[in-house]
Chains A and B, each alone.
Chain A
């Protein structure tokens, strides 16, 4: 398959966005080809164009997508020929989609019909292209493929519904559904982004294994350069709708942008040797925290302590209880068992004035920048909300205070009068940080503050947090699912698994000498770049 000079525009409310500009891709170089790029780089749009699944407001202005396969449009005998997919009608595309080109998407639950048995859903892609195949043969084929992608007891699980599978299992089933017709090309659009690292590793290995067994070519789309290094034999780097670089290996980039991406990824693998200074006192301790939802323990017997000017990382996969834990610490949620002490006073037994001081001193940064700022308020009002409530500065000094805070988080003063929707995700997250700092807090709770951001923006936000933490006497609890993210910054880390602590201690010790089996597994699963330069 070859893409030649592809350009796609989007028109939204009068504006024209050049989503893809003059893109040339060739999948003949290798079995697994990767496109790496940030959100908005045009990688997903390109994939959708191949499948003929573009939205209605997309206009293909130029280009060809050439694809070789044995087509049967005419009554001609089967023979291999090259066609331009962009010239085909929708009806003709339907014969290619799922048969000759298949796709696996990011959110597996969104692409599985919740009311349909999983076996039928896989069988559907067989029946769509081979309507005359007998039913029992289809079923046998489906079961065979389910076993191939590692679903145990495939024969009984054939009749299960999507919600009875985990995200990782469902993604495997969708891979089976995509590969069952032995397509020439399989497009994987961020297939592991919604999954935990341990599951991601399994899926990546499965894809590699399947590609070596069959002659299907894989086009793998991702934002994660470390994943690319582990799976792809050939890499295209996209930025702002253009392919800026292509090579056999990601390790020798020529473009500055790719070098920067690689450098950030390599930096993430560094482990700090920071120690907490001994004179720093404990400001917050939690002992024996347990939270139950019904019979299920979200958090079970967790204890931790936070020192002055400490960065404490809490690492865990989804469902490990890390968000519940931070909610207990922040005082939003009460734990059924256990106690949170702030400067030696139990939060549950605080007087009203102590509680107000606690509230002021413990602030939070949220995961989704689009949900954490009131869309109907101006930036300055957002920042001043806590200032007014806690009476931090005099009324006539407020404008100046907002300016100083915006400077501190490296934002333009002019943004003060804007609304959140006029800002980018990274800028919004900076406003969140400014809002928390405005109360002159002691403890900053960060709940995956960078997981909705691009790699570069993530890097900038983390640097900003570290800068502020070093300048002021701030203590930070940083929650993340990505253990790499925190090893450069945190003094101590806690690894959580199923609501319990799997490991707690100095970052360097935990990473270098993991004692717990789960941590070993977690560290092995994280996709790594080889350090050789």
Chain B
């Protein structure tokens, strides 16, 4: 109800949501319909502009750019989504375990988080990638190795706050044990905040991946991603600017769209309002 009302008054948000969904759909279904080839190198047809055969032109090795952009977008999205899932699963579990055991376990696990977060995370990510090589798995590991810490800390904080609420004390008196309280009462109540986290984390990962690939420590050809495409594009900017502009525009579009979606989620499910009833609004 609230979402419908909200969307009716924000046409821009509707545009970004629909646009984002279309982009995702195209990235995943498009490759089945495009005749181009993302791996075959055609030496004679390098850096050509858009044509009927290659709507986006070709890259510096004569590969079809449309196909490479579609696959690159796909890879960037997949990496971002999987990394977000890993971050949330580890973060939520870690936070729950801290709250469940409490006391010394909690304070030990908290110190661990503090140690990890005190290290420069970009440096760690880059060193890990250099050490492990440029594979898909290494990329995911390097991206999420420190990212779960803020989530775990946030989950712990929220859980501890909710543990003081009357409905949790009531649940204790009704005989529910802590694991049940965490799953039945605490998790559903922080869901809106988690959804917001997702909407913020995904563009973050897309950006990180692009940045790392751009620096040359991300994915390597023939594997492709938006970052890889931008890196190749910027070296040919003078002879074939479209090689940089197309993946760049898609990156900007995704990040903008996710920001609008995150804003919408925050406005609709703001955590501050979840305990307010109609009477609270009236007073």
Footprint of B on A, CB under 8 Å? Answer: 12-14, 17, 19, 39-40, 44, 330, 332, 356, 359-360, 362-364, 366-368, 370-377, 385-386, 389-390, 420-421, 424-425, 432, 435, 439
Bound together, the chains give a CA A461 to CA B170 distance in angstroms of: 19
Bound form: Cα–Cα A372–B166 in Å: 5
28 A-B pairs with CB atoms under 8 Å apart are: A17-B282, A40-B279, A44-B283, A332-B169, A332-B172, A356-B175, A360-B175, A366-B166, A367-B166, A371-B165, A371-B167, A374-B167, A374-B185, A374-B188, A375-B167, A375-B275, A376-B185, A377-B185, A385-B174, A385-B176, A386-B173, A389-B174, A390-B175, A421-B277, A424-B279, A425-B277, A425-B279, A432-B170
Contact check, A370 vs B282: say whether CB atoms are below 8 A apart: no
Per the bound structure, the CA–CA distance linking A297 and B99 in Å amounts to: 29
Residues of B within 8 A of A17 (CB): 282
Q: Is the interface of B mostly helix, strand, loop or mixed?
A: helix
Residues of A within 8 A of B278 (CB): 421
Q: Known pairs A372-B170, A376-B188. 12 more at Cβ < 8 A?
A: A39-B283, A364-B173, A367-B166, A370-B280, A373-B167, A374-B188, A375-B167, A376-B191, A377-B185, A390-B175, A421-B277, A435-B170
Q: Does B281 contact A (CB under 8 A)?
A: yes
Q: Is B118 close to A, CB under 8 A?
A: no
Q: B interface, how many residues as a size bin?
A: 20 to 34
CA gap between A362 and B166 in the complex, in Å: 15
**A residues near B2, Cβ cutoff 8 Å:** 13
Q: Which residues of A contact B97 (CB under 8 A)?
A: none
Digitize B239-283: 1 where CB-to-A-CB distance is under 8 Å, 0 elsewhere.
000000000000000000000000000000000001111111111
Q: What is the CA–CA distance of A435 and B277 in the complex, to the nearest angstrom?
A: 20
Lowest 7 A-B CB distances belong to which pairs? A386-B174, A389-B175, A372-B166, A376-B188, A366-B166, A371-B166, A374-B167
Provide the residues of chain B in CB contact with A13, threshold 8 Å.
2, 5
Contact B279 A368 (CB under 8 A): no
CB A339 to nearest CB in B, in angstroms, measures 20
Q: Does B194 contact A (CB under 8 A)?
A: no
A193 CB → nearest B CB, Å: 12
Choice from A359, A370, A376, A425 contacting B173 with Cβ under 8 Å: A359
- Check B282 against A39 for contact (C-beta < 8 Å): yes
A372 touches B167 (CB 8 A): yes
Write the nearest CB–CB distance from B127 to chain A, whole angstroms: 42
A368 near B166 with CB under 8 A, answer yes
Give the residues in chain B near A368, CB-CB below 8 Å: 166
- B134 on the interface (CB 8 Å rule)? no
A40 vs B280: C-alpha distance in the bound complex, in angstroms? Answer: 10
Min CB distance A268 to B, Å, is 23
The closest CB in chain B to the CB of A384 belongs to: B174
Judged by a CB distance under 8 angstroms, whether B24 is at the interface is no
**Residue ID in chain B nearest A428 by CB atoms:** B277
In the assembled complex, the Cα of A332 lies from the Cα of B173 at a distance in Å of 8
The one of A362, A366, A420, A421 in contact with B170, judged by C-beta atoms closer than 8 angstroms, is A366
Residues of chain B within 8 A (CB-CB) of A424 are: 279
* C-alpha gap A373/B189 in the complex (Å): 12
- Option from A40, A366, A374, A439 in Cβ contact (under 8 Å) with B282: A40
Quote the shortest CB–CB distance from A294 to chain B (angstroms).
19
B85 close to A (CB within 8 Å):
no
Is B81 an interface residue when CB atoms closer than 8 A count as contact? no
Enumerate chain A residues within 8 angstroms of B165, measured Cβ to Cβ.
371
Give the residues in chain A near B5, CB-CB below 8 Å: 13-14
Residues of B within 8 A of A372 (CB): 166-167, 170
- Taking CB atoms, residues of chain A closer than 8 Å to B184 are 374, 377, 385
Query: Within the complex, what minimum Cβ distance (angstroms) separates A441 from chain B?
Result: 9
B189 to chain A, nearest CB (A): 6
Give chain A nearest CB distance to B87 CB in angstroms: 23
